[in-house]
Amino acid sequence: MSISGNTRVLCVIGDPVAHSLSPRIHNAFLAESGLDYVYLAFQVKAGDLGRFIHAVQVLGIKGFNVTMPHKEWIVPFLDDMTEQVRRCGAVNTVAVKDGRLVGHNTDGAGFLRALALGGIVPVGMKVLILGRGGAAKTVALALADNGANVLMAARNMTLPPLDAQIEPVLWEEIGGIVGACDMVVNATPLGMPGQDFSDFSFVDGLPEHAYVVDLVYHPSQTTLLRRGHDRGLQVMNGLRHLVCQGALSFEFFTEITPSLTLVDGLIRDLSS
């Protein structure tokens, strides 16, 4: 990569963000595209979000991804947003078009693309989503829109209404309902370093054909996935989803679609 005075910046913001694989993914997309851009990671604390938005305009940043804890907090700063963002209230991609900040969310479509690469069709599946954050909501809506029967559970709280197609359940009820589920998707931070599930007994209640999917990608094999694997269940970590939603984000930034060969190669490299 050659950096010059004409090089433009794309980035990801979050707190923490040092562990992010997005720079590796997007700089690979940029290398393939030949664009004179660089993709960086910026740690932005909660109270500094407004200052970052000002910096976007001052520095001419062309687009940025948004991760925890900013996915919902970024919404008031946007000039426009997609219908998907209006439905879920969360953003993971902001494209800067003619100085206007346009919010997108590629989590749902990226998740469906990741499932498709694994040969998984969600139509008719009963899927339990663990979590109530931005990624959880977007994935739940995408699955419901594509024919899945979706349930959502959150820790220590009830879920606000999200969509008529999505059934909220109490965290304490998980053990009693997983026996009828075809897939469980962890969309909480549980599994990341320093925090994990206190009880994995619900994994033992899943049917033998069920999938266990974790959107956490650091570490690449969480305790939840190990428990699922030990039971002989089919498991998928968050790396495939990360690359697929990143490819969609890159399209919004640049109007260029990364090649499937590169996407597949990144998934293999990051999983090794």
In terms of phi and psi (left: phi > 0; alpha: psi -120 to 50; beta: otherwise), the region of 245 is alpha
The one catalytic residue in 45, 62, 71, 137 is 71
CA dist., res. 160 & res. 8, Å (int): 40
Q: What is the CA angle 54-57-60, rounded to 5?
A: 140
Q: Is position 97 annotated as part of the catalytic site?
A: no
Instruction: State the CB neighbour count (10 A cutoff) for residue 247.
Output: 22
Residue 198: burial class (beta carbons within 10 Å; 0-12, 13-18, 19+) = exposed
* Residues catalogued as catalytic: 71
